């Protein structure tokens, strides 16, 4: 398989996979704190406080996913990073993950893609 396609798929799986893990960690944490109604959990997840906590996590996950996806690619690193960022944003916007997204963190996704591609180009 082409190294660009493998890098794109690997970076996308890492980025979306860690996003799902983070979401499930928040839900299980809230359940362990005594939130037993789904309405309560949704209200906490949709709060501004959760948005502020989810932004750095989204940034770090995107940096890691893009960096792992592009680090072994010789050329078109930024193109592969752009594809990973676009597919991640698309999955959060209109895919099945729309239900799970805490907030639509497009700025951290874009910045994480740029920083991850830059780090991948340097290694």
C-alpha–C-alpha distance, residues 59 and 39, integer Å? 27
Reported as a single tens digit per residue, the pLDDT across 6-65 is 999 999 999 999 988 998 998 899 999 998 888 888 888 888 888 888 899 999 999 999
pTM recorded for the entire structure: 0.88
Distances (CA, A) of 75 to 4, 7, 14, 30, 87: 9, 11, 21, 44, 20
């Amino acid at each position: 398989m082409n190294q660009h396609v493998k890098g794109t798929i690997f970076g996308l799986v890492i980025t979306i996979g860690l996003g799902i893990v983070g979401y499930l960690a928040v839900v299980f944490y809230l359940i362990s704190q005594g939130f037993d109604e789904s309405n309560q959990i949704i209200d906490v997840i949709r709060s501004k406080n959760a948005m502020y906590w989810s932004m750095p996590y989204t940034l770090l996950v995107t940096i890691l996913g893009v960096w792992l996806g592009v680090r072994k690619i010789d050329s078109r690193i930024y193109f592969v990073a752009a594809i990973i960022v676009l597919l991640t944003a698309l999955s959060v916007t209109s895919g099945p993950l729309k239900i799970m997204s805490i907030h639509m963190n497009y700025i951290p996704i874009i910045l994480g893609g740029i920083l991850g591609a830059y780090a991948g180009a340097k290694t």
